[in-house]
């Protein structure tokens, strides 16, 4: 039975980030295990599939603090301009990196490219052991430690278990950490598209009566599409030919990037807000999508998860520095207290935007468009939204 200081269940971006952050912030003092169910070089790895993620400006700075950003920057596409609009109405907001005197408002990274970088990091850090492919099959907690059994037969002992194994966390289920769910009654269709006009680093969020449509700038002139539709539209839209799909998307999105010319493989998934009922338990912490899974509106999911990672890593490093047992409430309680306000505010913002822009009540339509137009003229009104969008959030 191997002894570890921390065992992280889940080795995609959030779990890998935590392992690296712990290694960096404790100056390689901890022995860390990462348990990942799917081989990271598997093209079907759900954490490193065809999707892209939007990284806020603040997230890039957090990644830089743990020596990850230089490698990720090479596969990142800068977001120089954000255009937010409501289809069929006049209200809109435009934000630019130039007006805010920053290099970029954020970045877009393909998960497959990120996967290679994280896998290399995990494989080359002596204090991190990667068990992959392997699954956590059982967790037994005593007062002084947690005992973990993997499906490979290996057994691990640790002071702290971290659940970073995604929205339907098996670890949370094993530990009886419940989750609350809210179905947005929308489905996200994701794909990569090519446009006739170069995107020039522009990101678009367009609200329609059925849900938001986002196009984020990618490498090679492509854009990453997230198209939210009603569930009853899913089968029809997924069955469209490429030409039909592009024509329907063109009608919804408009012509701001000229004609939509190509679309890659399409994927879809239901949009459900999931929140773990507890962020900590005895010798357990919950982070990333295991802690909360958000609607993709405003691209907050990974950025919120990364703030979980960095806060937990900071509290563990502080505990190590003072000789504390990192699995006890003296350490984990601080993580929970620091994360709750940001978590609640980000969930409220994303869920609120979905409700506001999916509602066709004439009074709400008029109000939100007046709000968008007013916000476009007022730096004071823009500021709170902008701070959260750029990841400039207190942890």
Sign of CA dihedral 14, 19, 24, 30: positive
Cis before residue 334, ω within 30 degrees of 0?
no
Cα 23 to the center of its chain, rounded Å: 22
Token pair for residue 179? Answer: 């989750």
DSSP letters, 217-273, are E-GGGEEEEEEEE-HHHHHHHHHS-HHHHHHHHHHHH-SBTB-EEEE---EEEEEEE
Residue written as token pair 């400006």? 57
Measured between alpha carbons, how far is 194 from 225 in angstroms, rounded to an integer? 10
| pLDDT computed for residue 366 by the predictor | 46
Least Cα distance to 34 among 67, 4, 7 occurs for 7
Contacts of 378 (CB under 8 A, 6+ apart): none
| pLDDT computed for residue 294 by the predictor | 92
Per-residue pLDDT of the chain (395 residues; tens, 9 = 90+): 999 999 999 999 999 999 999 999 999 999 999 999 987 555 555 544 467 899 999 999 999 999 999 999 999 999 999 888 775 544 567 888 888 788 999 999 998 889 889 999 999 999 999 999 999 999 999 999 999 999 999 999 999 999 999 999 999 999 999 999 999 999 999 999 999 999 999 999 888 877 789 999 998 899 999 999 999 999 999 999 999 999 999 999 999 999 999 999 999 999 999 999 999 999 999 999 999 999 887 788 999 999 999 999 999 999 999 999 999 999 999 999 999 999 998 898 888 777 665 545 454 444 434 444 444 444 544 555 666 666 777 78
| pLDDT computed for residue 394 by the predictor | 77
Domain ranges of the chain: 2-78+106-181+274-357
Which pairing describes strands 32-35 and 2-9: parallel, antiparallel, or unpaired?
parallel
Least Cα distance to 343 among 244, 249, 274, 250 occurs for 274
Measured between alpha carbons, how far is 335 from 329 in angstroms, rounded to an integer? 9
Least Cα distance to 108 among 57, 52, 68 occurs for 52
| pLDDT computed for residue 229 by the predictor | 93
| pLDDT computed for residue 374 by the predictor | 45
| pLDDT computed for residue 87 by the predictor | 55
| pLDDT computed for residue 44 by the predictor | 53
The class level of CATH for 2-78+106-181+274-357 reads alpha beta
> Considering just the CA atoms, what is the radius of gyration of the chain in Å?
21
| pLDDT computed for residue 83 by the predictor | 87
């Amino acid at each position: 039975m191997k002894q570890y200081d921390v065992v992280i269940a889940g080795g995609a971006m959030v779990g890998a980030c935590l392992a690296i952050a712990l290694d960096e912030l404790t100056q390689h003092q901890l022995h860390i295990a990462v348990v990942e169910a799917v081989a990271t070089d598997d093209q079907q790895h759900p954490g490193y599939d065809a999707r892209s993620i939007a990284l806020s400006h603040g997230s890039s700075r957090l990644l830089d603090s743990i020596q990850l950003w230089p490698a990720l920057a090479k596969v990142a596409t800068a977001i120089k301009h954000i255009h937010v609009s409501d289809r069929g109405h006049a209200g809109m907001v435009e934000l630019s990196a130039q007006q805010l005197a920053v290099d970029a408002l954020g970045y877009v990274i393909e998960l497959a490219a990120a996967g290679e970088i994280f896998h290399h990091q995990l494989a080359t850090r002596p204090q991190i052991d990667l068990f992959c492919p392997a699954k956590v099959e059982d967790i037994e907690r005593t007062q002084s430690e947690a005992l973990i059994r993997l499906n490979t037969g290996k057994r691990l002992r640790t002071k702290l278990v971290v659940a970073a194994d995604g929205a339907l966390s098996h670890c949370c289920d094993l530990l009886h950490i419940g989750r609350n769910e809210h179905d947005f009654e929308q489905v996200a269709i994701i794909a990569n598209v090519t446009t006739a006009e170069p995107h020039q680093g522009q990101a678009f969020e367009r609200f329609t009566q059925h849900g938001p449509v986002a196009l984020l700038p990618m490498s090679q002139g492509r854009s990453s599409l997230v198209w939210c539709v009603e569930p009853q539209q899913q089968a029809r839209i997924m069955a469209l030919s490429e030409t039909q799909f592009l024509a329907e998307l063109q009608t919804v999105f408009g012509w701001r990037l000229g004609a939509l010319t190509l679309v890659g493989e399409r994927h879809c998934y239901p949009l459900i807000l999931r929140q773990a009922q507890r962020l900590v338990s005895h010798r357990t912490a919950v982070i990333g999508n295991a802690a909360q899974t958000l609607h993709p509106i405003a691209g907050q999911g990974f950025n919120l998860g990364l703030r979980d990672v960095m806060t937990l890593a900071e509290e563990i490093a502080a505990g190590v520095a003072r000789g504390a047992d990192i699995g006890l409430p003296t350490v984990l309680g601080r993580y929970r207290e620091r994360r709750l306000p940001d978590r609640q505010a980000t969930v409220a913002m994303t869920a609120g935007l979905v409700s506001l822009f999916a509602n066709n009540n004439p009074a709400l339509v008029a109000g939100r468009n007046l709000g968008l137009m007013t916000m476009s003229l007022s730096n004071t009104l823009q500021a709170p939204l902008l701070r959260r969008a750029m990841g400039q959030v207190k942890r």
